[in-house]
Each structure stands twice: as structure tokens, then as C-alpha cells.
Amino acid sequence: MESALKEDNVHVLQGPPATFPLLEELLGLTLHRNLLEMPSGGVAMIDAFSNQTLLWRDLHQQAVNLAAALRKLGYEGQSAIFSISSENCLDFFKVVLAALFNGAVLAPLSHSYTNYELEHSLAISRPQVVFCSRAVLPKLLQLKEPHTHIKRIIVLGKLDAASGQPGVEGLDEFIRSQLGDHSVDVNRFKPAEGDPKNSIAFILCSSGTTGLPKGVALSHMNIQVRLNHQREPLYTPKNELAGKSRMLGLMPFFHAYGLIVTLSSLNMGNTVVCLKRFDEDVLLRSIQTHRITILTLVPPLAIFLSKSDKVAHYDLSAVETVYCAGAPLKAHTEAQLQLRLKCKDCRQAYGMTETSLAVTSMPIGQLKSGSCGQVMTFLMAKVRDPQSGRSLGPNQVGELCFKGPSILMGYYKNAKATREAFTSDGWFRTGDLGYRDEEGYFFIIDRLKELIKYNGFQVAPAELEAILVRHPKVSDVGVVGLPDELVGERPVAFVVTKEGCELTEEELKAYVAGLVSPQKRLSGGVHFVASIPKNPSGKILRRQLRDWLKIHRRSFQSKL
């Protein structure tokens, strides 16, 4: 149990003492050292669709070769910025490891981004080298000319000769062009060194209430905290600690959840079975065939596994541990899931991209229904009154705030957003409302900020509003989330049409769908209104729109 501290007459919860000290080194050194200890003939990753395997020795060797090839062109250190945009695949973590080995900065991007979204995100990080899948290549070719900072595009997998363009190479082709047919001796390879607290490892996209995504700069030390949590017996089962587990890699690798959890699992020596897309039968068959022991889920997946009739047709008995994060999981769904899977360990955690994932987690052997656990090792937490700034005691709802070495360095090249994310005394403001009980267990109630959570993804209402208001027939608009058990929330638009114009719901939905990723589409519907409620300063009163949705919720849901 966390101890309650007294800080300036304010209650603060302190995480438990750590079993191991934090490593004061860049991640590449840690990962390289651990990869050298992996069984060379052991399997690191498996593609669930093709059943292709990637051995530890090949993952390590190919990542080292890629790092060396990039170094030959001068791409190393903090001045080297890479991006990767791809579905989950066996090549993905070769790029991640190579970037970390070189002490470079990696900015993963969603493969489902439209050109509109990609253009904004590329402008944040300004990568010199972009790694992508063949599906993403056409979009990048269109954007390469205006983004002159992109010097090379390297395609994962095999690149068809017909797809070749100037400045575009396949991954293997690129490595051969720099190293010939020779491989680097992994035992003599030296990863980059530096200051882990002040060196950026990743720039990850995170939407804010201001609309378009911001770049979350996470340091090597931020991720070292996560790797340390993975080694803690308080949070990690024995088989996982011993590298004897198999994890299902369904969470997108470009997303903080999929990226950091998978990197942590590989660092421990556990095998990852990756899925390039969600398919109910492939998911269930993978758990059965590959004897998956660890499931990392978001609530919609938890609901599917707890309710789908298909589950009864597969043997999921190997599952030992279920982690659920991304949004609060209702207590009854948590109970149904554990009963259905008959697993020993079903736990929730709470965190976000800005906190390098989990800052609270349910310790092993403890259970409190509906709770996301207690504050974790190395961290401090408090509940803050959003209006007065006063810290609150047990069972009082306020904004969750955290301090510790897993909190982001800042928003990349966005000093204003960074300042606004912290209190004057250095606490990171999550924007989420919740409380903790007398025993230090946290519960999430609502979001102070206005993000819509769809399938674990964050959707900014302001981004959709900015797109909708550009439609020639739209005068004003407000966007909120429609609660939905399957996906969490669906974006709903309240629209004021321009006088004399006729506009249909289908027309607006199609307009938005052409500009945004699937999770941002208006799947909750469109409602035409005479005006959008606003306060005197012009801020949309979303609470009034959500209240209206509660009254008319059934009519909206009947159209889904």
C-alpha cells in the first residue's frame, strides 16, 4: 500500500519502493545487452497471419545491421530523426531497435492517417528518413516533395521493382547498399551513449483539446521506468519475469500502448505474436494455436472476449494474465471477462502517452473491482481540485496529477502546450477526473478535458470541428462523444447549416471520412440544430450538448 505523505499540507500518495534502481543509460545499451543474452534459436516474434517467425538472433542482427547502415550515412545521435508508419509486422521493431541503438529520435505515425493528418504530423518531427509499409508508400510519395526534410523513404518487407521511385528503397536493399553482403559483429557493436534524462527516444502523437495532434517527447529515462516496472515482481507474474510468456501483439505498434508494451516484453525475452489488423477469428485462433499467456486489451476487446459466442469455440486456457488500459473498464465487464477466460490475473491500469503509459496499476494478488490500481514505483500522485488547485483527500473527485521520472519531457517544439500541461509546482495534469479511496486505490470517473475515446484512440472534437466548419454549407458546429459500450464513445456532430443551404447527414459523414482516420469519422451521427451553445468568451458548452445526447440517446443509438 502507498504511504500518504504531507507536502505543504497537501496529501500526496507515494509509490512503493523499487526492487531495482533505474538504469542511468540510453535504451540502446540496455536492449543490446539483454538481446545478447537471448537464446539464439529462440523465437522473438511470430506473424499471426502468415505464421512467419523471427528468431532472437535475426532480430538482433538485422537491427544492428540497419543501425550500422544508417550510421554510415551520418544518421545517429539526437540530430537524426526517423519516422515509421506501418501496420504491425516483423520488421517494425528492427527499426525501433536500430533507432535506439543509434541514439536517434523515432517518431511513429499511424498507418491509417490520411494525407491531411500525415502532413501535420510530419511537420512536427521533420524526419530525415521515413520507414513505411507498402500500403503507406503512395501517401508518402505525395507528401515527399513539400516535405523537403525527408531524404529517404525505406519500405518494410520486399519492394516491388515497379514501386521503385527516386529516394525509395526496400529495407534489405538499403542495408545491402551500405554494408554489401557483410553483417556487423553484434558482439563488437557499440550502441550510442548519452544522458538518458535529456535524450529523446520517441516523439509520439497525442491529440489535445486544441485540435490537431501534438508531439509527445519521451526521454530514454521515461522508457527506462517502464522497463523497470516490467521487472518488478509486484506487477509482473513469474513466467513473464522469466521470459517464458507469449504476448498477443494486437495493439498498434505506432501507438504508445503497443510500442512500449511490446518493447518491454521483448526486453524481458517474451515472444510476441503480432496481428497486422483485428480479425475476430484470427485473434481467437492465435490465442489458441500459439498458447498466448498475456493479453493486453482495451475495453472494446475486453467486451468482445466477455460476450462473443465465438469464444466458446476456441481453447483460451493458456491465458494467465489480462491487462486492460486505454479507458476505464466497467466492473461488470471486468468480472465477466475473468469468468469467461478463467484466467488467474485480470488487472486494470491507468496512464497515457504523456506518462509513458501506466502510472497506476493493480498489484499482483490484489483486486478491487472497477479500480485501476495504486500509484506505481518511482511515482507520486494526488487528486487536485480543478478550480481551487487544492489537493483532495480520499473519496473526493478531482483531476489526477502525477510526478516522477516517467512523465514526458514536454511537447516537442511546443513550449506553450508544455507549460499548460503542468501546475506551477511541477505536477503533470492528466485532464482526467477521478478519486482514490482510503487504501490508495484509484478510480476514473470522467475526463476534465474534452477528448473522445474511440477504441482506445483519442479523438479531439476541435480537430473535427475545424474540418467540418470548412464545409461550404456549414455555419457552426460542435462535436462530442456518444457513449457506446462497444467502442467507448462515437463522435457526434451538432451542425448549424448556412442559411438557404440544404445539407444531409450522409453528405457530411462522407466529407469527414475523406479527410480523417476511421476512428475520427462521425460514426455517432449528425444532428442539425439552430445554434451551438457557447459561453460569453465563445467556448462551446459541450456539457449542454452531452446532456442533450442523454435525453435523445436512444434515437441516436438506433441509427448505429
Annotated active-site residue in 94, 226, 520, 542: 226
Quote the cell numbers at residue 315: 481453447
Spatial CA neighbour of 253 closest among 230, 277, 231, 233: 277
The C-alpha atoms of residue 25 and residue 3 are separated, in whole angstroms, by 29
Annotated active-site residue in 539, 550, 554, 559: 539
Annotated active-site residue in 32, 255, 429, 436: 255
* 147: Cβ contacts below 8 Å, ≥ 6 apart: 119, 122, 123, 126
Quote the cell numbers at residue 392: 483532495
Task: Determine which helix (DSSP H) or strand (DSSP E) holds 227, and give its type and residue range.
Answer: helix 220-231
The answer to whether 264 touches 27, Cβ cutoff 8 Å, is no
Is 539 known to be catalytic? yes
Burial class (CB in 10 A: 0-12, 13-18, 19+), 286: buried
Helix axes 299-307, 331-341, angle to 10 degrees: 50
Annotated active-site residue in 71, 94, 453, 542: 453
Is 111 known to be catalytic? no
* 423: Cβ contacts below 8 Å, ≥ 6 apart: 384, 389, 401, 429
DSSP conformation letters of 388-430: T--EE-TT--EEEEEESTTS-SEETT-HHHHHHTB-TTS-EEE
The answer to whether 377 touches 17, Cβ cutoff 8 Å, is yes
Instruction: Bin 364: left if φ > 0, else alpha if -120 < ψ < 50, else beta.
Output: beta
The b/e string for 19-30 (b: 16+ C-beta within 10 A; e otherwise) is eeebbebbbbbb
The C-alpha atoms of residue 96 and residue 62 are separated, in whole angstroms, by 11
Spatial CA neighbour of 299 closest among 449, 553, 484: 484
Is 554 known to be catalytic? no
Quote the cell numbers at residue 236: 509482473
* 550: Cβ contacts below 8 Å, ≥ 6 apart: none
Quote the cell numbers at residue 145: 516533395
Quote the cell numbers at residue 477: 458546429
Provide long-range contacts, Cβ within 8 A and 24+ apart, for 363-366. 363/234, 363/235, 364/233, 364/234, 364/235, 364/236, 364/237
Annotated active-site residue in 271, 321, 333, 353: 353
Spatial CA neighbour of 393 closest among 6, 72, 1: 6
Catalytic residues: 226, 255, 353, 453, 539
